[in-house]
Amino acid sequence: MKPAAFKYFRASTTEEALQHLEAHPGSKVLAGGQSLVPLMNFRLSRPEVLVDINGVDELNRLSVEGGEVRIGALVRHQQLAESVDVARAVPVLSTAAQHIGHWAIRNRGTIGGSVAHADPASELPAALVALNGSVVLRSAAGERRLPADEFFQGFFNTALQDGDLIVELRIPVSKSRFGFSEVVRRPGDFALVGAYIERAGSSGAVTWFGLSGRPERLPVDAWPQGESDRRALLERLVGALPVDESEDYKRAMAVNVAERAYHQAEGEK
C-alpha cells in the first residue's frame, strides 16, 4: 500500500498551479488528500505529477456576497460547518457539512476535493446540485462556470478537463426552505442514501444521493400535503431513476429519507 512514484510540485498561487497543470497533462491536484492519497496508496490512482495547492491562500476564501455563498476550493469541510455566515445564509449547507466524515477528515478534506472526486454518496456534491450551485473552473484558457447539475456526470465522473482547476463553488442564497437527511451505518460514514428537499411555496424539488452514479435532482410541481400521497409521489420519482434492480433497500430508504428531509425543511429557519 505504497503509491507509485510521482513528481510533486507545490504551488503558491493559482497561476502557478495552472502552469503546472498545463505543463503536465494527466497531473492531479493535491488538496486535503482524503480521497486521493488512499487511492494512490492502493495504486488505483497513479498520477505522474501531483500539484499541491495547499499553499494557495487565495483559494481559501469563504464569503457571502451578492446573494451568493462563495466557497474557495481549498476551504475545509470543518470551516464550512462552523461558518456563521453560511449557517445564516444557507442553513442546510451547514447541517450537511457536519455530516461529512469525522472531525479529523473535515479538518483536512476540502470542498474542491470533494467536488472533484464526485463520490455519488457524498454530501457536498449533492448539496451543490440541490441548491442550484455552480462550479467555477479555471485553466490556462480562462475561467468558466458550470451548473452543478452539468458538472457531475456519473460515478466519480465530472466535467473536469485536463488542465482545469476548481477554484470556487457558488451557491445562491435562496428563499426556499431546505431539508437534509441521510442513512448511515455509523456516524461519519458515506451515506447509504441521502436526500435534500426543497420547498418553495407549494412546489420544490428532491435531490437524492447514494442512489445512482450522481446526485439526482427532480423538480416537484406541488408537494402533496398528506404523508401517504407524498410517499406515493416520492416512490414514483425514485422509480424513474437508474437504480440497480438489486437495490430494493436503497429504493425503500430513498423514500424514507426524503420524507424525513421534508419534515426537516419544515423546521428550517
Partner 1 sequence: MAEVLRPQMMGARVSRLEDPRLLSGQARFLDDIQVPGMLEVAFVRSPHAAAKILSVDVEAARHLPGVYAVMTHQECPVMLWNKESYKVGQPALADGEVAFVGQPVVAVIAENRYIAEDAAELIRVEYQAITPVLDMRDAIQEKPRRVHEHAENVFFKKSRQTPGFDEAFAAASHHLTASFRTNRQTAVTMEPRGTAAMLDAASGRLTVYASTQSPHRMREDICNLLDIPEHLVRIIVPEVGGGFGMKAACYPEDVVVAQAALRYRKPVKWISDRLESLESDVHARDDIHDVEVAFDDDGKIIAIKDHLMADGGAYPAYPWSGAEGETGLAARVLTGPYDIPYLATDIDCTYSNKTPLGSYRGVWGPIASFIQEGLVDRVARHLNLDPADVRRRNMIRKEQFPYRNAARMIYDEGSYLESMEEALKLIGYEDFRKRQAVLRQQGRYVGVGISVFVEPTAMASSEAGEVGYESCTIRIEPSGRVTAAFGLGPSGQGHETTMAQLLADQLGVPLADIVVLHGDTDSAPYGGGTGGSRSGPIGGGAALVAGRQMRERLIKYAAHLLEAGEDDIELGDGKAWVAGVPDRSLTIRTIAQTAYMDVSKIPEGLPIGLEITGRYLPKRPVTFSNGTHIAEVEVDVHTGVVKVTRYAVANDCGRVINPTIVEGQIHGGVAQGIGAAVLEALRYDEDGQLVTTSLLDYLLPESTDVPRIDVHHIETPSEGEGGIKGMAEGSLIAAPAAVACAISDALAPFGGMVDTLPVTPDMVLKMVQDR
Interacting residue ranges for partner 1, rule: CB under 8 A: 1-5, 38, 42-43, 183-190, 192, 248-249, 252-253, 256-257, 260
Decide whether 22 or 247 has the Cβ nearer to partner 1.
247
Closest CA to 206 of 182, 232, 225, 179: 179
Of 187 and 267, CB closest to partner 1: 187
Instruction: Please say whether the dihedral angle defined by the alpha carbons of residues 116, 118, 122 and 125, taken in this order, is positive or negative.
Output: positive
188 vs 224, beta carbon nearer partner 1 = 188
Whole-number minimum distance, CB 228 to partner 1, in Å? 15
Please identify, using beta-carbon distances, which residue of 69 and 234 lies nearer to partner 1: 234
Cross-strand partners of 63: 70
Q: Work out whether strand 7-10 and strand 49-52 pair parallel, antiparallel, or are unpaired.
A: parallel
**3-class DSSP assignment, residue 102:** coil
* Least Å from the CB of residue 149 to partner 1: 27
Shortest gap between Cβ of 95 and partner 1 (angstroms)? Answer: 18
Query: Between 58 and 189, whose beta carbon lies closer to partner 1?
Result: 189
Q: What is the four-CA torsion angle of 257, 196, 79, 38, rounded to 10 degrees?
A: 70
**CB of 187 vs partner 1, minimal distance in Å:** 5
Report the nearest approach of partner 1 to the CB of residue 51 (Å): 21
CA–CA distance, 59 with 72 (Å, rounded to integer): 5
Select 2 or 269, whichever has its Cβ closest to partner 1: 2
Distance CA 196, CA 185 (A): 19
H/E/C letters for each residue in 26-59? CCEEECCCCCHHHHHHCCCCCCCEEEECCCCHHH
CB of 233 to partner 1, least distance (A): 17
Contact between 182 and 257 (Cβ < 8 Å)? yes
Nearest alpha-carbon partner for 209 in 135, 102, 118: 118
How many whole angstroms separate alpha carbon 20 and alpha carbon 42? Answer: 25
